[in-house]
Amino acid sequence: MPYGAHGKTGRLILDEALRRGHRPVLAGRDAAQLATLGRTTGLMTRHASLEDGASMRAALSDVRCVLLAAGPYRQTGPAMRRACLDAGCSYLDVNGEIEDFSRALAGDSAARTAGVAIIAGVGYGVVFGESLAAHIKMRLPSATSLRLSFATKTVGRSRGATLSAAATMAAGGRVIYHGALQTRAIASPTWQVTHADGSPMPFAAAPMAELVAAHESTGIANIIDGHSALQDRRCGDARRRPDARKDSRENSRARFQTSRAR
Classify residue 7 by its DSSP letter: S
List the chain residues with pLDDT less than 50.
Answer: 231-262
Boundaries of CATH 3.30.360 in the chain?
A: 125-261
The contacts found for 52-60 with CB under 8 angstroms, 24 or more apart, are: 53/79, 53/82, 53/83, 53/86, 56/80, 56/83, 57/83, 57/86, 57/87, 59/1, 59/27, 60/1, 60/84, 60/87, 60/89
Identify the pLDDT of residue 153: 72
Q: Please count the other Cβ atoms lying within 10 Å of the Cβ belonging to residue 65.
A: 16
Identify the pLDDT of residue 230: 57
Which of 260, 181, 250 has its CA nearest to residue 226? Answer: 260
Q: Write out the CATH class of domain 2-119.
A: alpha beta
Determine the number of helices (DSSP H) and then strands (DSSP E) in the chain: 11, 13
For the entire predicted model, the pTM comes to 0.82
Boundaries of CATH 3.40.50.720 in the chain?
A: 2-119
| φ, ψ of residue 227 in degrees (nearest 5) | -120, 155
Render pLDDT for 229-246 as a digit per residue (tens, 0 to 9): 654 443 334 334 444 434
Q: Write out the CATH class of domain 125-261.
A: alpha beta
Identify the pLDDT of residue 154: 63
Identify the pLDDT of residue 156: 61
Q: Are 200 and 244 in contact (CB under 8 A)?
A: no
Secondary structure class of 81 (helix, strand, coil): helix
